[in-house]
Every structure is written in C-alpha cells, then in structure tokens.
Amino acid sequence: MDKKELVLQYLEKLLVANETTNLTRISSWEEALVLHIEDSLVALEEINAAPEGLYGDLGTGGGFPGVPLAIYTGRETVLVDSVKKKVRILADIVSEIGMSETVSTYGGRIEDLAKEKPGAFSVLTARALSQLNSLLELSSPLLKRGGQLICYKAKVSEEEIQSALDICDLVGMKLLNRRSLVLSDGITTREIIVFQKIGSPKVKLPRNVGMAQHNPLVKK
Ligand code: SAH
C-alpha cells in the first residue's frame, strides 16, 4: 500500500475511535486532512535531514505528527503519551494498518522514558505540547549528541524564543533552524523550530516529573 493510502487509513480508524474515546478535538475529515495530515508532514524535510536512528513523538495525543512522519520516513518510531488509554488505542490502530514493526508506543511520562532510554533518540517531534524551554528540557536527556528536536509551534513570541535560547547552554542544546509557513487552508500559520543536542546538560536531567512543564528552567 502506498504511504498516502496508509496515512488515510490511519486517520479513518482514528476518527472512528474518536467517537467513543477522546483522542483528538478535530472530528471532521476535511479539517483533519489539513490540521493533522498536511500539518504533520510539514516537517518531513527537517526529519529527513536529522541523523539516522530512532524517532520519538512526544505528547503524541492522537498520533500527530508521529504516525504520518513514521509512515513517510520509515524510521523506527516511538509514540509517547502519558495517557495510557489513548496510547493503547493508537497501538491497536497502528497494528491494524500493519505498521507495528516500525511504530511502537510508550504510555507514560516523557521524564520516565528519559530514565529508561537515556540518549536513545536521534530525532524528536513535539506539537501542541509545551513552551519551547520545557520542550528543550524534556528532550535533552532523550537525545543522543547531534540528535534533533523539531518543534511545531503555532504562534511563537520572541519572549518564548528568548527563554528557550537562555537555557540552551544549561541543557546542552542549540538552535539550528527556524522557518514559518501557512497551511493550504490559507489561515493556519505554522512555525518549525529545530534544536540540536550539542553536549551534556549542566543540570541533572530529567528533573522530577512535572518540573519541566510547571517550573521551567530559567537563566540564572
Ligand atoms: N501532539 C498531538 C497532541 C497534543 S496535546 C497533536 O498535536 O495533536 C498534548 C499531549 O501531550 C496530551 O495527549 C498529553 O497527554 C501529552 N502530555 C503532556 N505532557 C506530557 C508528559 N510530560 N509526558 C507524556 N505525555 C505528555
């Protein structure tokens, strides 16, 4: 089956499952084609340019951008979400479309995955998960040196960028690339921001569960 067909099959099954379990707030097919499929694939170029190896989608929710990117890149992929029930449904759908050899799931906190698999990932994505500074802190312990974090942001303020830049050194990351675009609906703006792991963090990571998102690191 071709990639596009596989992605559409995934979406179809997800929207059916979404009728009984809350997996995504987008329930119309037309809207999902743009906001889930087209949007997820926006950073295909960035993920293909990242070092070879394991890919993780942090806070995957209904599997976005993780599943479309897994299908289009063929990378070994882990979909990560703390809501175990969601992740179990994603695993079932992934298996139904015949992708379970490349795509696995982790039902737990990103912080706990970082303790289980430190430095295991070559590339990570995060859409609609957290502020950039929190994403940097959560990602750093999971990434190998040279590994990349690809952030999907809607509108990003210069303050948010600055807070992230301020802690890059602390978490051993640097800003690699930034670009913005508008989706085919003509209204949804998207910014793709890529960071790279360049060295060991200067603080012990992960910190306790919840700290990165509720009490982000700041520059001293
Ligand atoms: N990436 C998806 C979902 C975004 S909602 C999309 O763009 O459509 C954010 C998701 O992240 C939720 O499903 C929530 O359960 C998960 N999440 C938030 N913090 C987390 C953490 N620390 N560890 C694991 N999952 C987390």
Q: What is the DSSP letter of 107?
A: E
Q: What average pLDDT score do residues 69-76 get?
A: 98
User: Which residues in 139-161 are b (16+ Cβ under 10 Å) and which e?
Assistant: bbbbbeeebbbbbbbeebeeeeb
Q: How far is the C-alpha of 180 from the C-alpha of 78, rounded, in Å?
A: 26
Q: Above 90 in pLDDT, residue 219? A: no
Query: Rounded mean pLDDT of the chain?
Result: 97
Residue 190 token pair: 């998207």
Return the CATH architecture of domain 3-214.
3-Layer(aba) Sandwich (3.40)
**220 pLDDT more than 80:** no
- Tell me, using a 6 A CB cutoff, whether residue 59 lines ligand 1: yes
CA–CA gap between residue 120 and residue 145 (Å, rounded): 10
CA atoms 126, 128, 133, 138: torsion sign: negative
pLDDT tens string 88-123: 999 999 999 999 999 999 999 999 999 999 999 999
- What is residue 81's predicted lDDT score, i.e. its pLDDT? 98
Residue 27 has a pLDDT of 87
Q: Is the pLDDT of residue 1 over 80?
A: no
CB of 110 sitting under 6 A from ligand 1: yes
Buried b / exposed e over 42-68, threshold 16 CB at 10 Å, is bbeebbeebeeebbbbbbbbbbbbbbb
Q: How far apart are CA 206 and CA 215, in angstroms?
A: 13
Q: How far is the CA of 126 from the centre of ligand 1 (A)?
A: 8
Residue 156, pLDDT above cutoff 90: yes
Per-residue pLDDT at 155: 86
Q: What band does 182 get if pLDDT is binned at 50, 70 and 90?
A: very high
Report pLDDT for 93. 98
Q: Where are the alpha helices (DSSP H) in the chain?
A: 3-17, 29-32, 39-41, 44-49, 66-73, 84-96, 110-116, 132-139, 158-171, 211-214
For ligand 1, the distance from its centroid to the CA atom of residue 81, given in whole angstroms, is 6
pLDDT given at position 109: 98
Check pocket membership of 149 for ligand 1, CB cut-off 6 A. no
* Structure-token pair, residue 215: 């009490």
Domain locations in the chain? 3-214
11 CB burial (10 A radius; 0-12, 13-18, 19+): buried
pLDDT for the residue numbered 207: 96
Q: Which amino acid would we find at residue 100?
A: S
**Is the CB–ligand 1 distance for residue 83 below 6 Å?**
yes
Rounded mean pLDDT of 205-215? 96
pLDDT digits (tens, 9 = 90+) for 119-148: 999 999 999 999 999 999 999 999 999 999
Residue 60 confidence (pLDDT): 98
Rounded to an integer, the average pLDDT of 54-74 is: 98
Q: Which residues pair with 152 in a beta bridge?
A: 127, 192
